[in-house]
Amino acid sequence: MIELSSVAKAFGKNHVLRGINLTIPRGESMVVIGGSGTGKSVLLKSILGLVTPDSGRITLDGADVREANRDAFLARFGMLFQGGALFDSLKVWENVAFRLMRGATKLSKDQARAIAIEKLRRVGLKPETADMFPGELSGGMQKRVGLARAIAAEPEIIFFDEPTTGLDPIMSGVINALIREIVTEMGATAMTITHDMSSVRAIADRVAMLHDGLIRWTGPVSDMDQSDDPYLQQFIHGRADGPIESVR
């Protein structure tokens, strides 16, 4: 279980997170929604230690993440980045097997390649893709490779940063379905940040809405449509008018 208590982060005068309180129960899929620039990525990166919060506490299974052994802590996570963040200089299979070929549980090249090909197959890519470079792939294929890399070491917790951004609706549906299947199959705890409502409905067990640096609403995805929170309703229905200011 991941718990955030009063987590705050500012960049200069821009207070991005103003005291986030959020619990992500073990084995559940939490989706954090919110407009662009509301601090969703900062929230996710704060948990991973890529951004250091100014105040507040983040715990994983009760232990403060700042005090954890960094390698052991990160070994529990997999992450799909918004743009894929694949290493251009490495082949697809080397990207997928990156963690497997390094660190304490280092596998041989052949073993790592075999697992990478199996994971590529799991996300719907043919084994021939393994020897291509990321630059030779389409956006949707890069997302799938990123997903294969995120699950390669079978992590307990998987983070998805805007998994469908830049994809057409059909490819978005494919990626959403894959994420849901994989998270269920692995029994992993998942945290996704997105502003794509089709992703929310496909992936989420629970939803949290981030607005103005605070968690505005949180609850099961089934309660989302019945909520009378005007911010949430404006967001999920994509209305221009409402309490959330929009720049025209």
Please report, as ranges, the residues that interact with other proteins according to CB under 8 A.
Answer: 45, 48-50, 70-71, 74-75, 77-79, 81-83, 85-88, 98-99, 102-103, 149
For residue 230 the two structure tokens come to 């005007």
- E-state strands within the chain: 2-11, 14-24, 29-33, 55-60, 63-64, 77-80, 157-161, 189-194, 206-211, 214-220
Shortest Cβ distance from residue 109 to other proteins (Å)? Answer: 11
Asked if residues 179 and 203 have their Cβ atoms less than 8 Å apart, the reply is yes
Residue 159 or 235: the one with the smaller Cβ distance to other proteins is 159
Cα-Cα-Cα-Cα dihedral of 76, 98, 181, 40, to 10°?
60
Rounded CA separation 29/79 (Å): 14
Residue 149 or 211: the one with the smaller Cβ distance to other proteins is 149
Residue 189 or 234: the one with the smaller Cβ distance to other proteins is 189
- E-state strands within 124-247: 157-161, 189-194, 206-211, 214-220
Residue 50 or 63: the one with the smaller Cβ distance to other proteins is 50
Shortest Cβ distance from residue 239 to other proteins (Å)? Answer: 31
Please enumerate in sequence order all residues whose Cβ is within 8 A of that of 28, keeping only pairs 6 or more positions apart, or say none: 189, 190, 205, 206
Q: How many CB atoms are closer than 10 A to CB 248?
A: 4
- 68, 61, 51, 59: which is closest to 16 by C-alpha? 51
Residue 40 or 45: the one with the smaller Cβ distance to other proteins is 45
Shortest Cβ distance from residue 91 to other proteins (Å)? Answer: 13
Residue 98 or 235: the one with the smaller Cβ distance to other proteins is 98
Shortest Cβ distance from residue 25 to other proteins (Å)? Answer: 22
Shortest Cβ distance from residue 30 to other proteins (Å)? Answer: 18
Shortest Cβ distance from residue 75 to other proteins (Å)? Answer: 6
